[in-house]
Chain A
Amino acid sequence: MILWKSILTKKTTLLLLILMPIILLISISLFQQTADDFRVSVQVVDPYEQSEFNELMERVDEPEPFSVQVNNELDLQSLARGDVEAIFVVENNFEKKVQNGNIDELFTWYRYDHSIVDGLFKEYIAATLMETVVRHEAARYVTDELEQVSRQEVFDFGLRYFEPDPLFQMNFQSYGHGSQVDERHEVKHGPILLFIWAYIWLLIIYFTSFIDQYRETQLLNRLSVYTFGKVKLYRSWLTLMLVLISVLLSGVGLISSQMNIQLETNALMSLFFLCIISVLLLLIFNLLLKNRKTFLALTIMYWIVSIVMFMLVDWQIVDEAWWGYFLIPVWLS
């Protein structure tokens, strides 16, 4: 439709659309910074550089919210400085001990007075370790009974029985993602969702200027002599808004997942619906008010009040009042 082409090839539009990914990146990196603040650093030290232990650590990976460094030297100073919350040092002969199921005091666990959640990481290593030990145990048992199979075959075979993960590890997961962590996630989501909404609101205000233009130049009058002429114009404007918002929010989803940030799909979906409501609201304002200045005054006022109100609610300075729900972003907090 001519409307899409004419809007999308306009320089101002192009500029705003180029600004879009930049805004996205800025907002997401803001989000990432806050996310990093919640990371808990732990150090794992293997003075003997054992390959089987490395394999284990690869399987442990980096469970949220931990950031794991694997070192060869024990540096207790980093613990004292508060750089890391805990240090785990593995004993020598890791492979043999694990194969024999002899895992008592396999690790030395250094922690500091202020260390709080490092225990979770201990659980995580323990879970992975237990899986390995149980598989070795099984392998040993089976090869004792059946001589024609090799220990490695049975060990690898054992993997099948650990999909899905062992029960106690699942317990750990639900503990780790329990209420504590979830609350923090919401606090982190709020500002970025607000940021995106605020940007989209202004973007739509810009796009309503085209409708004003169509009204002023009598294009709407011209089209209204045709059956559904005006409706078709509004429809393609609305579809354009819908497509742009979808693209924008999918971009947010995509980039955040690329950067390993978990923006919940639910949060994005509700943001999407709130943006659609915003579009409809702005269109209705535009149709009712007709006067550009009144329209701008009202919608920008709404924008500012919404943002302030959102922050007050988010920082728990004021309680959510019933009238707060007239402000779209308050629904996000």
Chain B
Amino acid sequence: MLQLNNIIYKNKNKMILNGISAEVKQGDSICLFGPNGAGKSTLLKMLAGLIEPDQGVYKQDKLTSKPVGYIPQQLALFPNMTVKDHLSFYKKMTKQKDREFIEAMSNALSLNEIKKKKVEELSGGMARKLNLAVGLIHEPDIIFLDEAFVGVDLAAKHDMLQWLRLLNEDGVTIVLITHDWHVIHHLAKTLWVLEDGRMVDQFSIENLPQKAEEYKLVDSPLNKMFAVQN
């Protein structure tokens, strides 16, 4: 449903994306992986249609005319507004009529208990859950998550992963950026490896063990944890 062909994106003559070609199919669950400054966030924004390439072709072929779901890296929330304020604002903004969906999501992410709390009073995990929820309120067909799990406690991460998996199983496409093996393990089906604005590799999650060896990730403590769980 999304196609990139030889994309080049510059910022003040600095090459940020350098000849990227890739495809996102419906129902995919892709993790963008790579060091800081590799261009992951930029590529994600381009996939979400927030920025346009300087060169190359970007093709979007969505199932419906619904807006995409974009969850930015930062907590893009109003600090002194409550959880409820946010939910009703985005409900209005996206003209979402399906109360059941919002109710189900609020339950899954246990937002109901904190409805009256202001964002600035929320713990990191709770705020992340709200940051996720407001981006999903209109039931998008495709979701883009930029480091949505940073600073999230285990319980909250569990809730979020559970819900996203459920959506993915229902055919919702997910593209996410994370360094969290736990998240990759539970959510990603495909990995894209970026470095210096270039797509270095694309492979399926089953090939991760060999690839991890190839990329010398074997000795990293995170990888050990991942290996045990696998």
Contact = CB atoms under 8 A, between A and B. Distances in A.
A115 interface: no
A233 to B, nearest CB: 10
B93 A229 contact: yes
B75 A225 contact: no
A227 B77 contact: no
Among B69, B80, B81, B94, the most chain A Cβ lie within 10 Å of the Cβ of B80
A225 B68 contact: yes
B128 to A, nearest CB: 13
B67 A225 contact: yes
Nearest to A8: B80
Interface in B59-109: 67-81, 85-86, 89, 93-94
Interface stretch (B45-53, B166-174, B187-195, B201-209): B45-53
Given A225-B49, A225-B67, A225-B68, A216 B81 contact: no
Contact of B50 (A5, A9, A214, A225): A225
A54 interface: no
B135 interface: yes
Contacts of A3: 78
A2 B81 contact: yes
Interface in A193-226: 214, 216-219, 221-226
A212 to B, nearest CB: 13
A103 to B, nearest CB: 72
B50 A6 contact: no
Interface residues of A, number: 21
B contact face: mostly helix, strand, loop, or mixed: loop
B89 A221 contact: no
A225 B45 CA distance: 10
A contact face: mostly helix, strand, loop, or mixed: helix
B80 A217 contact: no
A156 to B, nearest CB: 65
Interface string A69-111: 0000000000000000000000000000000000000000000
A114 interface: no
A2 B76 contact: no
A218 B71 CA distance: 9
B68 A6 contact: no
B72 A9 contact: no
Contacts of B80: 6, 9-10
A217 B81 contact: no
Contacts of B78: 2-3, 6
Contacts of B74: 216-218
A232 interface: yes
A1 B80 CA distance: 14
Given A2-B85, A6-B81, A226-B93, A217 B75 contact: yes
A221 B93 contact: no
A226 B93 CA distance: 8
A10 to B, nearest CB: 6
Nearest to A11: B80
B76 A218 contact: yes
Nearest to B78: A6
B166 to A, nearest CB: 22
Contacts of A5: 81, 85
Contacts of B45: 221
A2 B84 CA distance: 11
B74 to A, nearest CB: 4
Contacts of B73: 218
A229 B89 CA distance: 11
A219 B76 contact: yes
B132 to A, nearest CB: 12
Given A10-B80, A219-B76, A226-B93, 20 more contacts: A2-B81, A3-B78, A5-B81, A5-B85, A9-B80, A216-B74, A217-B75, A217-B77, A221-B45, A221-B72, A221-B76, A222-B72, A222-B134, A224-B50, A225-B50, A225-B69, A225-B70, A226-B94, A227-B67, A232-B93
17 contacts: A6-B78, A6-B79, A9-B80, A214-B76, A217-B77, A218-B76, A219-B76, A221-B70, A222-B71, A222-B76, A222-B135, A225-B49, A225-B68, A225-B69, A225-B70, A226-B67, A226-B93
Closest 4 CB pairs of A and B: A218-B72, A6-B78, A219-B76, A2-B89
